[in-house]
């Protein structure tokens, strides 16, 4: 039985063309995030299991987290998300950091589950967090940043929708307006999260099952349905409309409109899975009706840093996974075909490997990325090779060229070929970089 060449289930190999694309994704993310003044941090892929026990639902720990016991008997987890790690880091230096912190990272994360479209066992995720700002300006900046990343990927605003909601508002809605118990609110919250996957009839049946007979008699089900289906904050029932969260959401929407972000919608059914969100949550959806799925999202979690025994730090952030982003860009034809890191391919004409060394070293010394063909095959084959590797230029080196100090530079995309000195060739290739 030979060894299998397949990568581990739900994990990907990145062959050079794949890695090139991934580098493009990350480079674009980094460019935008750093333009907003965010700094990169990193943390270990292994964390103590208890880091995830306090804050997340039990589900993640029991079923979706890779865990093992190390040789010292410690319970270890492979990180399923970055937020606990970054909260830990902030808490550890709570007193000496200068706020606000604008931090980002692109970690690889692991979850143990059956792979499906857009959800693998290992994925990379851009994590952006803003620590230390309570004001709504933080929400505005973070959502604007998320939008700018998609803009940088050349997405049109008609291709995605930003939905926002407030956990505070939803909680107040359930406990104050509907008078539900804490347990009922939690169960209902999970149900609302799945609302768009079911019919209205199914949803109201499941909702009724959560209510007590007397609650059902008070017509809570219809109150619930009427409010949840509202598309505009102004249509909310008066008792809810008076809630402070409504004016905050309105202000946030205004701020975003002012930044030209008009594809933003209030969605009262937007929940997001994690319990640690405390206030505003948002999620970006693919607007394509064929692929109307959630791409990524985030929200405010003011309580996490405080779990480490230090004074709490208000925080808002989001995570953007590479798999869903890739699917989005691919389905909207927004993926470029990045060129090779190798800038020129040296085609050796005849048996000149040794004589050509000086020239090749000169090129490399001028800061060019040069690959030399070592096959000894005829020039036609060497060119084909360069084309397949998506290298932009070929430089021909034969005895005649070495003697004259002039070389043919061929643009492999256009087929255009010119004969120049080495210096001129170097500057032409460098001009092509931008």
Partner RNA sequence: GCGGACGUAGCUCAGUUAGGUAGAGCGUCGGGUUGUGGUCCCGAAUGUCGUGGGUUCGAGCCCCAUCGUUCGCCCCA
Binding mask 153-192 for RNA (x = CB under 7 A): -------------------------------------x--
- Is 84 among the residues that bind RNA (CB under 7 A)? no
Where does this chain touch RNA (CB under 7 A) — which range of 100-108, 147-155, 361-369, 409-417?
Answer: 409-417
Nearer to RNA, 5 or 98 (CB): 5
CB of residue 295 vs RNA: minimum separation in angstroms?
Answer: 11
R_g over Cα of the chain:
28
CB of residue 272 vs RNA: minimum separation in angstroms?
Answer: 5
Residue 79 · residue 85 · CB < 8 Å: yes
Structure tokens at 6: 């397949």
Residue with tokens 């939690």: 186
Nearer to RNA, 114 or 433 (CB): 114
CA 197 – CA 283 distance, rounded (Å): 16
Q: Which of 48, 66, 193, 288 binds RNA (CB under 7 A)?
A: 193
Nearer to RNA, 38 or 393 (CB): 393
Where does this chain touch RNA (CB under 7 A) — which range of 16-24, 40-48, 145-153, 391-399?
Answer: 391-399
Structure tokens at 39: 């700094």
CA 153 – CA 149 distance, rounded (Å): 6
- Is 108 among the residues that bind RNA (CB under 7 A)? no
Q: Which of 306, 312, 338, 379 binds RNA (CB under 7 A)?
A: 379
Provide CB contacts within 8 A for 202, sequence distance 6+.
Answer: none
Q: Which of 156, 364, 377, 430 binds RNA (CB under 7 A)?
A: 377
CB of residue 57 vs RNA: minimum separation in angstroms?
Answer: 5
CB of residue 13 vs RNA: minimum separation in angstroms?
Answer: 11
CA 113 – CA 60 distance, rounded (Å): 10
* 116 DSSP 8-state letter: B
CB of residue 239 vs RNA: minimum separation in angstroms?
Answer: 28
- Is 364 among the residues that bind RNA (CB under 7 A)? no
Binding mask 260-289 for RNA (x = CB under 7 A): ------------xxx---------------
- Is 81 among the residues that bind RNA (CB under 7 A)? yes
CB of residue 403 vs RNA: minimum separation in angstroms?
Answer: 8
Residue with tokens 């929407």: 253
Structure tokens at 383: 């060119």
- Is 398 among the residues that bind RNA (CB under 7 A)? yes
User: In degrees rounded to 5, what are phi and psi of residue 159?
Assistant: -90, -10
User: In degrees rounded to 5, what are phi and psi of residue 81?
Assistant: -160, 165
- Is 349 among the residues that bind RNA (CB under 7 A)? yes
Where does this chain touch RNA (CB under 7 A) — which range of 55-63, 141-149, 157-165, 241-249?
Answer: 55-63
Provide CB contacts within 8 A for 258, sequence distance 6+.
Answer: none
Q: How many CB atoms lie within 10 A of CB 144?
A: 18
- Is 60 among the residues that bind RNA (CB under 7 A)? yes
DSSP string, 363-431: HHHTT--EEE--S---HHHHHHHHHHTT-SEEEEE-HHHHHHTEEEEEETTT--EEEEEHHHHHHHHHH
Q: Which of 18, 176, 367, 399 binds RNA (CB under 7 A)?
A: 399
Largest CA distance in the chain: 98
Nearer to RNA, 97 or 228 (CB): 228
- Is 296 among the residues that bind RNA (CB under 7 A)? yes
Tell me the sheet residues that pair with 177.
none
Nearer to RNA, 177 or 301 (CB): 301
DSSP string, 176-232: IIS---HHHHHHHHHHHHTGGGS-HHHHHHHHHHHS-HHHHHTTHHHHHHHHHT--S
CA 266 – CA 22 distance, rounded (Å): 32
Residues of the shown chain interacting with RNA in the complex, contacts defined by CB under 7 A: 1, 6, 9-10, 57, 59-60, 64, 80-81, 109-111, 113-119, 125, 190, 193-194, 197, 272-274, 296-298, 319, 321, 349-350, 377-381, 383-385, 387-388, 394, 396, 398-401, 408, 410, 412-415, 417
């Amino acid at each position: 039985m030979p060894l299998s060449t397949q990568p581990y289930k739900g994990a990907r190999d990145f062959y050079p063309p794949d890695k090139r694309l991934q580098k493009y994704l990350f480079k674009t993310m980094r460019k935008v995030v750093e333009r907003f003044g965010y700094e990169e941090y990193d943390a270990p892929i292994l964390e103590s299991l208890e880091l995830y026990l306090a804050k997340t639902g039990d589900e993640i720990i029991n079923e979706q987290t890779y865990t093992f016991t190390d040789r010292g008997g410690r319970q270890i987890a492979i990180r399923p998300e970055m937020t606990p790690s970054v909260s830990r880091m902030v808490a550890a230096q709570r007193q000496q950091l200068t706020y606000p912190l604008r931090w980002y990272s692109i970690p690889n994360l692991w979850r143990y589950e059956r792979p499906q479209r857009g959800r693998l066992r290992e994925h990379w995720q851009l994590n952006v967090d803003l620590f230390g700002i309570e004001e709504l300006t933080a929400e505005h900046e973070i959502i604007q940043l998320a939008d700018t990343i998609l803009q940088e990927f050349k997405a049109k605003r008609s291709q995605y929708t930003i939905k926002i909601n407030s956990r505070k508002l939803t909680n107040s809605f359930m406990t104050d307006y509907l008078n539900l118990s804490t347990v009922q609110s939690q169960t209902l919250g999970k149900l609302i999260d799945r609302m768009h996957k079911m019919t209205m009839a199914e949803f109201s049946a499941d909702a009724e099952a959560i209510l007590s007979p007397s609650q059902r008699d008070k017509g809570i089900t219809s109150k619930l349905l009427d409010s949840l289906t509202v598309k505009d904050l102004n249509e909310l029932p008066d008792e809810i409309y008076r809630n402070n969260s409504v004016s905050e959401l309105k202000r946030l929407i205004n701020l975003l409109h002012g930044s030209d972000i008009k594809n933003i919608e209030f969605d009262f059914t937007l929940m997001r899975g994690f319990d640690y969100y405390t206030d505003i949550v948002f999620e970006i959806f693919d607007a394509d009706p064929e692929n109307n799925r959630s791409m990524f999202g985030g929200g405010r979690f003011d309580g996490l840093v405080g779990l480490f025994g230090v004074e709490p730090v208000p925080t808002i952030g989001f995570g953007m996974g590479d798999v869903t982003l890739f699917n989005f860009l691919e389905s909207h034809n927004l993926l470029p075909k990045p060129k090779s890191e190798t800038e020129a391919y040296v085609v050796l004409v005849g048996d000149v490997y040794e004589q050509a060394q000086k020239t090749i070293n000169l090129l490399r010394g001028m800061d060019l990325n040069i690959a030399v063909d070592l096959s000894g095959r005829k020039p036609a084959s060497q060119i084909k090779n360069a084309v397949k590797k998506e290298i932009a230029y070929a430089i021909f080196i034969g005895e005649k060229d070495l003697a004259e100090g002039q070389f043919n530079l061929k643009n492999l995309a256009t087929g255009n070929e010119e004969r120049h000195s080495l210096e001129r060739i170097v500057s032409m290739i460098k001009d092509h970089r931008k």
